[in-house]
Structure 1
Amino acid sequence: MSKTYDVIVIGSGIAATTVAMRVSAAGRSVAVTDFRPYGGTCALRGCDPKKMLIGGTSAADHARRMHGKGIAGEVRIDWRELLEFKRGVTDPVPEEKEKSFSESGIATFHGRARFVGPNAVEIDGDTLEASHIVLATGAEPMKLGIPGEEYLIDNEGFLEMENLPRRIVLVGGGYIAAEFSHIAARAGAEVTILQHGERMLKGFDPDLVGWLMEKYKEIGVTLHTGTEVKRIGKTGDGFRVTAAGDGGSRTLEADLVVHAAGRKPDFEPLDLKTGGVELRDGKLALNEYLQSTSNPAVYAAGDTAQMGPPLTPVTSHDGNVVAANLLEGNHSTPNYTGVPSVAFTLPPLARVGLNESEAHEQGLKFRTRCDRTPGWFSTRQQAESVSGYKVLVEEESGQILGAHLLGPHADEVINAFTLAVRHGLTADQLKDTIFAYPTGASDIPSML
């Protein structure tokens, strides 16, 4: 059976929802399809469920830091109860999302979509045709190409664990490894990270990452950098991980091994060739309007487009760009200036704008303010021991080029710096701002 729409959106996450809702509200006919439960990675398998688990572990961590400071008694994390707390928020999402689509007049389909022509896809026997097709399928864990790879669980598996294993090995050193290790260690697991690169969180300032590493030692996380996993083997109820690095080879026993080594879009099921959609260096070949350069009927947004940082706010931004171009013709282009990024470790690590090496590469003249701040009130009030900042200010204009924060409230305070970076505010303008006190943001003038 064949059906025709103005726009077909493949995916049901933030980018897909933004496009579908805006285009439908403008009176166009829209169909959405996803082979997974509706909601996308952020709501079901990433940001939101992760933050729910962090809510519990951070509460326990704060209580432990306050021992001897007015808080007494043993604090422990009940993993199953924490998981149920998380599910209370995430489990209703697919039904609520589909209901929202239906109430907006959007046709919903379930199943993998594959191109059967430049303007048509097939979904479980149904052929859908449209003037435009939007690819917003997100990203999947990258293939590592090692023996025993099938024994790895991904972020989705970790967030659905009924029980917390005693020994956990995380393969990788980005957001997933950084955040999941803090969750698992504070919940009582023995955690080891095997990172191929020379340090973790390579997208963040190296000095602040170094300070954060003190926290990893404090909570008992073992980190091996410059280490490549060679093999994963099954051993009864557990696993044996073989790795090699500068210090030679090592073997670790684990009850769980987690894939935390990066994600990228999975284009193979889409049959892009049949749709006339070309790839360039493994990425969709797109123009500045997020439109396919080989098939003008096709647009992409979010992680699928791979044009901006792989972050949830970017997917929403891309969705608005694509929707505007579908409705009014190509005129809107994405602006990725000043996109903040946060690693929700405990304490959190955040950045926006340029780091020092990027500023030097651009030939900019700037001054840097950098310090550790364990003595600041905002840190002491949280009974935290690790905090600090680094801020880059352009010499001639006084504009904020970049900000890098570590410590309590960093995930919120970074938004004030984001406003400055994105809209060209100066250090003097921020210093002249009266912030509520005592709050994390009231530290900003002292950083400038």
Structure 2
Amino acid sequence: MASYDLIVIGSGTAAQVAVAKVHAAGWSVAVIDHRPFGGTCALRGCDPKKMLVSGEEAIDAARRMAGHGVEGALAIDWPALMAFKRTFTDPIPAKQERRYADLGVDAFHGLARFLGPDTIEVDGRTLQARHVLIATGARPIALGIPGEELVVTSEDFLELENLPRRIVLIGGGYVAAEFSHLAARAGAEVTILQRAAQLLPQFDPDLVGWLTPRFRELGIAIETSATVSRVERTEDGLVVHATRQGAPEFSVAADLVVHAAGRGPDLEALDLAAGEVAVRDGRLQLDDHLRSLSNPRVYAAGDAAGVGPPLTPVSSHDAKVVAANLLDGASHRPDYRGVPSVVFTVPPIATVGLSEEQARRQGRKFRINAASTPDWFTARRLAEPIYGHKVLIDEDTDLILGAHLVGPNADEVINLFGLAVRHGLTAADLRSTMFAYPTSASDVGYMLA
């Protein structure tokens, strides 16, 4: 039986960071994954998605500048755009395996499952571990509706060779917003069926309201407070049936139905009971150090841990915390202050820190600087009428409590506010900073005036 100081289940961001740190300290390490090495973000999530977004950014820029010195029509060639994406994703698994081989890290392909509190089985082999890191990521939650087998995942969408004409997205969060913009600009007819009363409920409702007209302009139909009841196949494709409280059932025809209703920790195949790893309501029971409450040999990081926001930087942060605890003793805790979150629609919407509702619930005394500002230079030079901000500033300390942005380069500028929230910078600190001009960052001072 092979023995290791650390066995990592998963090969994504959290796994890569943890492996690098403990291996550098001289630990023996094994990595297990039943899918191509590289993880969700690099292969099936944020990175390939952003590669595809590059195509729609070019289309949108040409549309906005039409009549302002730019002429000629552009269109997305979906197969060619997908081929561009694969120039990034295709080399990753082999590159990752070469890296592990060069380091002397043993890599195993197959489903891992616990045989005991310190024993893992993979592909018929039994491995013993001094410690185990669960970094298996997340998977789509079950919809629990008839016809669920007809619904594809976001990962399937990112591998489409050709784009269907009619697309229905079940859910109204990050994935639905991003994929709807991309598909609509590529020529598809898109409908979003959102169970909640608001699209993008994790974001400030005022800013979502400023962004929503772009969905309408793209021809995206948004049905809120709509609960999908079933999906069925017909001679003409698929039909999605949905209900609203107190209203008759309605249906939407589609050629493709995409699951965009949320993800949860991917734990089912691990046989955690055999590993004496406690789970409640589908989530690992962890202490403040990301260690299993029931089996101190086992840690978790990233989406599998389900503690911090389900974002790639959080996975990396969790892995650093776990590695420090493994090497120094369990005294390190994750710190999720100031983690920015972005929806890569075109234009993007971004948030960091407290929402207005959260700040009020906490009883904070704060002022709000908020405005829709399509007349500012950043918006005007790009012919982009969607541009706005809402910043929450503590009245007593002048600290930035939260920031919410929508419009050109919001995905970049939000990082400045993230820096302020995480490191305790005040509004005065940001106002006194001299940013390059004219840039979107140079608008920060005006957002705080």
TM-score with structure 1 setting the length: 0.99
Letter in 2 for 1:212: L
2:347 matches 1:351: no
Structure 1 CA distance for aligned equivalents of residues 120 and 296 of structure 2: 15
Do the aligned partners of 2:350 and 2:414 also contact (CA within 8 Å) in 1? yes
Displacement of 1:35: 0.4
Do the aligned partners of 1:400 and 1:426 also contact (CA within 8 Å) in 2? yes
Displacement of 1:281: 3.3
The match for 1:222 is: 221
Displacement of 1:154: 0.4
The match for 1:298 is: 298
The match for 2:26 is: 27
Displacement of 1:335: 0.2
How big is each residue's C-alpha offset from its partner over 1:154-193, in whole Å with a ceiling of 9 and x where there is no partner? 0110000000110000000111001000000011100000
The match for 2:207 is: 208
Structure 2 CA distance for aligned equivalents of residues 318 and 231 of structure 1: 38
SS at match of 1:352: strand
Letter in 2 for 1:268: E
How big is each residue's C-alpha offset from its partner over 1:51-92, in whole Å with a ceiling of 9 and x where there is no partner? 000001111111111111111111111001000000000111
Displacement of 1:104: 1.5
Q: Select between 387-396 and 236-245 the one with higher mean Cα deviation.
A: 236-245
Structure 2 CA distance for aligned equivalents of residues 153 and 215 of structure 1: 26
Letter in 1 for 2:279: L
The match for 1:342 is: 342
Structure 2 CA distance for aligned equivalents of residues 261 and 90 of structure 1: 25
Do the aligned partners of 1:25 and 1:104 also contact (CA within 8 Å) in 2? no
Do the aligned partners of 1:173 and 1:194 also contact (CA within 8 Å) in 2? yes
Structure 1 CA distance for aligned equivalents of residues 413 and 100 of structure 2: 34
The match for 1:331 is: 331
SS at match of 1:248: coil
How big is each residue's C-alpha offset from its partner over 1:279-332, in whole Å with a ceiling of 9 and x where there is no partner? 133311100110001000000000010110000000000000001111111121
How does 1:319-398 map onto structure 2 within 5 Å?
A: 319-398=319-398
How does 1:95-244 map onto structure 2 within 5 Å?
A: 95-236=94-235, 238-244=237-243
Structure 2 CA distance for aligned equivalents of residues 140 and 89 of structure 1: 22
Do the aligned partners of 2:277 and 2:292 also contact (CA within 8 Å) in 1? yes
Do the aligned partners of 2:265 and 2:282 also contact (CA within 8 Å) in 1? no
Q: Select between 309-318 and 380-389 the one with higher mean Cα deviation.
A: 380-389
Do the aligned partners of 1:134 and 1:300 also contact (CA within 8 Å) in 2? yes
SS at match of 2:249: strand
Letter in 2 for 1:108: A
Do the aligned partners of 2:369 and 2:392 also contact (CA within 8 Å) in 1? yes
Do the aligned partners of 2:303 and 2:315 also contact (CA within 8 Å) in 1? yes
Aligned residues: 447
The match for 1:13 is: 12
Calculate percent identity across the aligned residue pairs. Answer: 59
Do the aligned partners of 2:390 and 2:403 also contact (CA within 8 Å) in 1? yes
Displacement of 1:248: 2.5
2:59 matches 1:60: yes
Letter in 2 for 1:278: A
State the Cα RMSD in Å: 0.8
Displacement of 1:237: 5.5
Letter in 1 for 2:272: L
Q: Select between 93-102 and 182-191 the one with higher mean Cα deviation.
A: 93-102
The match for 1:256 is: 256
Displacement of 1:228: 0.6
Displacement of 1:266: 2.6
TM-score with structure 2 setting the length: 0.99
Do the aligned partners of 2:365 and 2:395 also contact (CA within 8 Å) in 1? yes
SS at match of 1:429: helix
Structure 2 CA distance for aligned equivalents of residues 412 and 266 of structure 1: 30
Displacement of 1:149: 0.2
Do the aligned partners of 1:21 and 1:101 also contact (CA within 8 Å) in 2? no
Could you list the runs of 4 or more consecutive aligned residues of structure 1 that deviate by over 2 angstroms after TM superposition?
A: none
Displacement of 1:382: 1.2
Structure 1 CA distance for aligned equivalents of residues 364 and 281 of structure 2: 30
Decide whether aligned partners of structure 1 residues 31 and 237 sit closer, same or farther in structure 2, where only a CA change above 3 A counts.
farther
Letter in 2 for 1:133: V
The match for 1:41 is: 40
Long gaps (5+) in structure 1? none
Structure 2 CA distance for aligned equivalents of residues 387 and 194 of structure 1: 26
Displacement of 1:383: 1.2
